[in-house]
């Protein structure tokens, strides 16, 4: 009988050691979030159940209080902001040309500058998505705004003069 208890204790110690090793590998691989998710592994089933029930109760209480905001709602709102910004930037040259008696060449330069700014913004947003700072969104407005903000236009490296020089100070008169 003593042999069996000793054998059982060694098995439990080995299982606990393996669990700790797995947790450490998960922490090294996935970061601190993995430690939280795997933190229940060292508990007995009854303790795991109690911990999960307490977490569920805390989440439900937070939802009732309005402490949580759904990620999908935030993604949708941010996506709509980018869509609005894109549409505003695309329409800016036409609006200004009507208000300021701009030549076609000046309007085209302004349009190219707006296009370049939108392309730069799209590139930065795409970099954020690939770095993992922003989750890959399933929201169509975010996907649309990060992938195709606007068609290509001449870049500042194309040798064109700055927008202020081309427009002859027309923006400062507005």
The beta strands (E) that lie in 12-114 are given as none
pLDDT tens digits along 2-60: 888 888 888 888 877 887 777 777 667 766 655 555 566 667 788 888 888 999 999 89
145 pLDDT more than 90: no
Q: What is the mean pLDDT of residues 135-140?
A: 53
Most confident range (mean pLDDT) of 17-21, 75-79, 109-113, 148-152 is 109-113
pLDDT at res. 56? 92
Residues 6+ apart with CB under 8 A from 48: 40
Cβ atoms 34, 27 nearer than 8 A: yes
- Per-residue burial over 139-162, b if 16 or more Cβ lie within 10 Å, else e, is bebbeebbeebbeebeeeeeebee
pLDDT at res. 68? 85
Among candidate residues 9, 10, 40, the one with its CA nearest the CA of residue 23: 40
pTM over 0.75: no
């Amino acid at each position: 009988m003593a042999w069996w208890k000793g054998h059982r204790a060694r098995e439990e110690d080995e299982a606990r050691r393996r669990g700790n090793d797995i947790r450490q590998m998960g922490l090294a691989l996935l970061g601190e979030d993995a430690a939280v998710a795997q933190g229940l592994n060292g508990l007995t089933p009854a303790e795991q159940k109690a911990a999960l029930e307490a977490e569920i109760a805390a989440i439900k209480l937070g939802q009732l209080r309005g402490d949580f905001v759904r990620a999908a709602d935030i993604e949708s709102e941010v996506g709509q902001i980018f869509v609005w910004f894109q549409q505003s930037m695309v329409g800016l040259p036409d609006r200004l040309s009507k208000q300021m008696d701009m030549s076609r060449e000046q309007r085209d330069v302004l349009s190219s500058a707006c296009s370049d700014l939108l392309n730069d913004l799209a590139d930065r947003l795409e970099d954020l998505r690939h770095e993992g700072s922003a989750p890959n969104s399933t929201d169509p407005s975010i996907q649309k705004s990060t992938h195709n903000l606007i068609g290509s236009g001449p870049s500042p490296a194309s040798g064109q003069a700055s927008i202020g020089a081309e427009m002859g100070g027309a923006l400062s008169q507005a």
